[in-house]
Amino acid sequence: MDSHHSYSQVKGVSTGTTILAVKFNGGVIIGSDSRASMGESYVSSKTINKLIQVHDRIFCCIAGSLADAQAVTKMAKFQLSFHSIQMESPPLVKAAASIMRELCYNNKEELQAGFITAGWDRKKGPQIYVVSLGGMLLSQPFTIGGSGSTYIYGYVDAKFKPDMSLEEAIQFSTNALALAMGRDNVSGGVVHLVVITEAEVKHVVVPGNKLPKFHDE
């Protein structure tokens, strides 16, 4: 993801952020922090929702300008729902990611937002797609994004294992987000996780005081 892009030029409310998604055995976890900032010094919201449901089993997490991201996900939600009605079946995760990519690529001059789309569908099971600022679409087994992601590349590269169990995956995501939030000033608040499997969608919230602590804290 464009991790070296500085989000300080974003006008208005920005989700200078840490977002991630990771595939595990049977599903996918998508997670984020909950801080929204204005400029580099004012936290405009401690509890913003960055995990947006675009369909029953497909979620998007947003980074960058909050206004742009909300507008794109609204549009994507509408188009996806229309597509799903026309096809008379739940949409593929790739379809959702493609819709986001079309919007980001065609409007790349005006928009300043990046997304991680993750979910479950009948054809390929759990999947994760990254749609970056300029409209690149990439499929990955796990991915991190946002300004806080630069601090955890080492951690996720070292600790990720394919086919983790649900508990391992939750621990992995929580640790990664906690480490990023500990080092990045524009990420913070609580950790939001959404676990998406064939059977259900489960929200897990880890409040600040329950986050894992690392030796220097």
Q: How far is the CB of 139 from other proteins (least distance, A)?
A: 29
**DSSP element (H, E) containing 32:** strand 27-32
Q: How far is the CB of 177 from other proteins (least distance, A)?
A: 20
* Choice between 44 and 53, CB closer to other proteins: 44
Phi-psi region of 56 (alpha: psi -120 to 50; beta: other; left: phi over 0): alpha
22-51 positions binding other proteins, by CB under 8 A: 36, 44-45, 47-48
Position of tokens 């840490």?
A: 18
Is residue 12 close enough to count as binding other proteins by CB under 8 A? Answer: yes
Q: What does the alpha-carbon distance between residue 215 and residue 208 come to, in Å, rounded to a whole number?
A: 16
How would you class 70 by CB atoms within 10 Å of its CB: exposed for 0-12, middle for 13-18, buried for 19 or more? middle
Figure out which of the listed residues 88, 109, 110, 217 binds other proteins, where binding follows CB under 8 A. Answer: 110
Position of tokens 């001059």?
A: 109
Q: How far is the CB of 63 from other proteins (least distance, A)?
A: 13
Q: What letter would DSSP give residue 151?
A: G
* Choice between 14 and 197, CB closer to other proteins: 14
| 17 included as an active-site residue | yes
Q: How far is the CB of 79 from other proteins (least distance, A)?
A: 13
Identity of residue 117: T
| Neighbouring C-beta atoms of residue 201, cutoff 10 Å | 16
Q: Which of 15, 17, 117, 197 is catalytic?
A: 17
Q: How many chain residues interact with other proteins (CB under 8 A)?
A: 16
Q: What letter would DSSP give residue 141?
A: S
**Which positions lie near other proteins, rule CB under 8 A?**
11-13, 36, 44-45, 47-48, 65-68, 70-71, 74, 110
Task: List residues with catalytic annotation.
Answer: 17
